[in-house]
Amino acid sequence: MSTKFKLTRKLLTPLASTALALSLLTHVPTASATEIDDLKLEEIIDSNTDSATNIIEEEWISHDGTIEFDSISNSTGPELRNAQAPLQNEEITTKVIEREDGYQLVTVSEGAEALDLSFEFADSFLEELPSGHILVRPSEGEEPTAYIDPAWAQDADGNHIDTRFSIEGDTLVQHIAPSPVGTHVVSDPYIRDVRKNGRKIGQELVFTRDETSIISLSGLPACIRLAAKGGPVSTAIGTIGCGGALLIASHANNTGRCLTLRAIGSPYAPNLIFPYATSC
């Protein structure tokens, strides 16, 4: 089974006041689904979502619908509401949850067979980090507009389902295995903004142009050594982030800019670090 949703780029710049379009382009129906309890769905979402922010609004979208919003919190389209779980005979439904830091697209499918969900980020460059997070950049090497939590899937009986992301150009595909007992499967990408109220979140380690040039020529040891000059926080960021920053350092150096490492998480134990080129 293959399902495709489309996200407009406006959704990501910034997330809180932009457009979202979800369209089912292909669907191969299977046997009729049974109802899934709304409390069970909430339990599955809560247990699989790390550091979830408060819910602003949410809306169920049936598998054969297309809904467009100028913004989810002030929509000119259908009003978002706390809806009930999917009805019978709706084989695939998606709950769009607007949170304080972005959007969570929770899909409920029958689980009897494997499913691929495709999410298109128009005119964007997608990159997977070793942690399983996905960066959404306007182009390669540039500052991300959003990041996506690692893939997860769980069925209604509590079984964790094998799932993974793959990248096909500007499209993110979530591959979901069938439930071993054939019950409903819940999955989601959680798309988070890298800014809050228009301001960057996390901590930045910005190298000078000279340091960027040295890193692009000398590689990882130089990056770690230069990061350590900034103290314990910079050392922690550099130790984790320098390994994936060398190509970006070359990109920044070639375009007359500076290598920057951004860390989101606890200052001394950052859980997400990404590099990009920035003006300096």
Find residue 103's DSSP bridge partners: 98, 191
The rounded distance, in Å, linking the Cα atoms of 245 and 141 is 9
Find residue 233's DSSP bridge partners: none
Question: From the centroid of its chain, how far is CA 161?
Answer: 19
Q: Amino acid letter at 19?
A: A
The rounded distance, in Å, linking the Cα atoms of 243 and 273 is 11
Residue pLDDT tens, the chain, 280 long:
665 556 544 444 444 433 444 443 333 334 334 457 788 999 999 999 988 999 998 888 764 333 333 333 333 333 333 334 443 345 678 888 989 888 899 999 888 889 888 888 888 999 998 889 999 999 999 999 899 999 999 999 999 999 999 999 988 989 999 999 988 999 999 999 888 877 888 889 999 999 999 999 999 999 999 999 989 989 999 998 999 899 999 999 999 999 999 998 766 656 789 999 999 8
> Any idea of the CA torsion for 47, 53, 57, 59, to the nearest 10 degrees?
-40
pTM, to two decimals = 0.78
Range list of H helices, the chain: 38-48, 209-218, 220-228, 232-241, 246-254
- Burial of 28 from C-beta contacts in 10 A (0-12 / 13-18 / 19+): exposed
Widest distance between CA atoms in the chain: 63
Q: Which residues does 74 contact at the CB level (< 8 Å), separation at least 6?
A: none
The rounded distance, in Å, linking the Cα atoms of 179 and 167 is 23
In whole angstroms, how far apart are CA 88 and each of 46, 154, 186? 24, 20, 16
Q: Is residue 134 within 8 Å of residue 165, measured between CB atoms?
A: yes
Q: What angle do CA 161, 166, 169 make, to 5 degrees?
A: 155
User: Among candidates 231, 228, 212, 195, which has minimal Cα distance to 276?
Assistant: 212
Find residue 72's DSSP bridge partners: none
Question: From the centroid of its chain, how far is CA 12?
Answer: 10
